[in-house]
Amino acid sequence: MMDVIQIQKILPHRFPFLLVDRVTEITPNESLVGFKNVTIGEQIFEGHFPGHPIYPGVMILEGMAQAGGILAFQSMDMTEEEAAKKVVYFMSIDDAKFRAPVRPGDRLQYRMTVIKHKGSIWVLEGKAYVDDTLVAQAELKAMIVDK
């Protein structure tokens, strides 16, 4: 289990672009479950869309990417100092599907699974849920590189 303070020691992202609030389960080299609480106070809702707030699909994908980055870093047996010198670059996002809208008040759960890992390259399956409803999914390919 990781809270947002621990997450910030791994990811360089900060408000308003840190999109993982907590990690509830992690099995290195296998899977991660984390979540983000979506609130009406987020700036993105000022323009997406006034009077009909919908959390953008690209933000869901970015949250998956961040959750995947946490999984990769936690699987690589690095110190915090070593991790601070690395960054995750996403190489591709394939087969992205958006199945249901995400709205303020929803708790977005990210379920990330390692499909393949070789060297600095990671291929992950990402699924996002609200309650038990699948709202988005994609296959993400990333590389961990020096800053």
DSSP state of 112: E
Catalytic residue among 13, 48, 52, 117: 48
CA distance 80 to 54: 35
Active site residue 48: yes
CA distance 46 to 51: 9
Angstrom distances, CA of residue 17 to CA of 3, 29, 78, 100: 16, 25, 24, 22
Task: Say which residue the tokens 């006034």 belong to.
Answer: 50
How many residues would you count in the chain?
147
Active site residue ranges: 48
